[in-house]
């Protein structure tokens, strides 16, 4: 369980490759000092949502809280950019703790590939042929054949990303469920997916894999020509993001459900 942060005085700054992010990092480091990743109490990430995910992956072992400011395009996981009163904002920020998904993907050569996903694990067809997937939950086959462009399993934090674009449900952060969502399902055409308990262990088997190759993607880590993919939440891994007071991740997810 996370303890409250001590009063934060030591920051380090990381920035995406975008010029505006790099320029912001230089100005902020001069203004607030840069303690370095080893000594910092909080990492300030400057970029977009993709860079936030990259920073979370890079700091998984250190578990230093991350406060993002938007110097990118989308910025759903980022706070509004401002160079003023940064320490004050961070010290009253609200914390969101998330657990990633652990993926074990087995390719056509029976080699295992392991990766963590903060947003989602997605299976995607590699050619013009639709994919055929068999889906098991906790060892029991729940769908013998799903013909589709793909499917994904999303965390609550990732439910507003690719999952939402695929018409999956938005999940409140504290709901303790995962979203299993088809991507352009052809058969059964009306299947819209399922909500699973966060303890569920999901297995995808790729049917006719020689004719209908499929890739598996955990956030930005891709494995081609998979035959099986096993996914479960890794409750031993905890990631911490900080959001401005009154603009918590939970509030953002709730607001997203009422947006046009």
139 is an annotated ligand-binding site residue: no
Residue range 79-88: average pLDDT? 96
Provide the total of helices (H) and of strands (E) in the chain, helices listed first: 5, 17
From the list 17, 34, 49, 234, the catalytic residue is: 49
* CATH at 242: 3.40.50.10330
Q: What pLDDT score was predicted for residue 59?
A: 87
132-176 pLDDT tens trace: 999 999 999 999 999 999 999 999 989 999 999 999 999 988 889
- Phi/psi at 23 (5° precision): -65, -40
49 is catalytic: yes
Q: Is 162 annotated among the ligand-binding residues?
A: yes
Write down the pLDDT at residue 260.
64
Give the count of domains, the chain. Answer: 2
Task: Tell me, yes or no, whether 108 and 217 share the same domain.
Answer: yes
Q: Which structural domain range is residue 21 located in? A: 11-98+238-256
Same domain, 21 and 86: yes
Whether residue 131 contacts residue 225, with contact meaning beta carbons closer than 8 Å, is answered with: no
- Greater model confidence, 135 or 250: 135
* Residues 133 and 145: beta-carbon distance below 8 Å: yes
Torsions phi, psi of 54, nearest 5?
Answer: -60, -45
**Residue 120 among known ligand-binding residues:** yes
3-state SS class at 252 = helix
Q: What is the pLDDT of residues 32-78, one digit of tens each?
A: 999 999 999 999 999 999 999 999 999 888 889 999 999 988 788 99
The stretch 108-113 carries a mean pLDDT of 98
| Beta-carbon count within 10 A of 246 CB | 8
250 known member of a binding site = no
Q: What is the mean pLDDT of the chain?
A: 94
Per-residue pLDDT at 4: 58
Looking at residues 175-183, what average pLDDT do you find? Answer: 96
Answer yes or no: do 216 and 123 share one domain. yes
């Amino acid at each position: 369980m996370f303890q409250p942060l001590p009063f934060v005085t030591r920051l380090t700054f990381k920035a995406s490759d975008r010029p505006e992010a790099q320029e912001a990092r230089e100005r902020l480091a001069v203004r607030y000092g840069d303690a370095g990743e080893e000594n910092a109490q909080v990492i300030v990430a400057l970029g977009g949502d993709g860079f936030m995910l990259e920073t979370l992956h890079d700091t998984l072992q250190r578990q230093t809280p991350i406060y993002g400011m938007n110097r990118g395009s989308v910025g759903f996981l980022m706070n509004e950019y401002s160079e003023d009163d940064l320490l004050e904002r961070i010290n009253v920020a609200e914390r969101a703790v998330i657990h990633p998904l652990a993926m074990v993907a087995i390719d056509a050569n029976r080699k295992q590939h392991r990766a963590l996903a903060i947003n989602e694990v997605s299976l995607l067809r590699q050619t013009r042929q639709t994919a055929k997937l068999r889906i098991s939950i906790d060892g029991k086959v729940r769908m013998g054949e799903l013909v589709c462009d793909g499917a994904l399993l999303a965390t609550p934090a990732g439910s507003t990303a690719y999952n939402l674009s695929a018409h999956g449900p938005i999940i409140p952060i504290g709901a303790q469920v995962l979203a299993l969502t088809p991507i352009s399902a052809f058969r059964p055409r009306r299947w819209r997916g399922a909500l699973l308990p966060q303890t569920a262990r999901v297995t995808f088997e790729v049917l006719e894999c020689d004719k209908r190759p499929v890739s598996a993607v955990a956030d930005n880590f891709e494995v081609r020509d998979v035959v099986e993919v096993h996914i479960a939440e890794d409750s031993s891994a905890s990631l911490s993001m900080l959001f401005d007071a009154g603009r918590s991740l939970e509030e953002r997810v709730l607001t997203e459900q009422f947006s046009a």
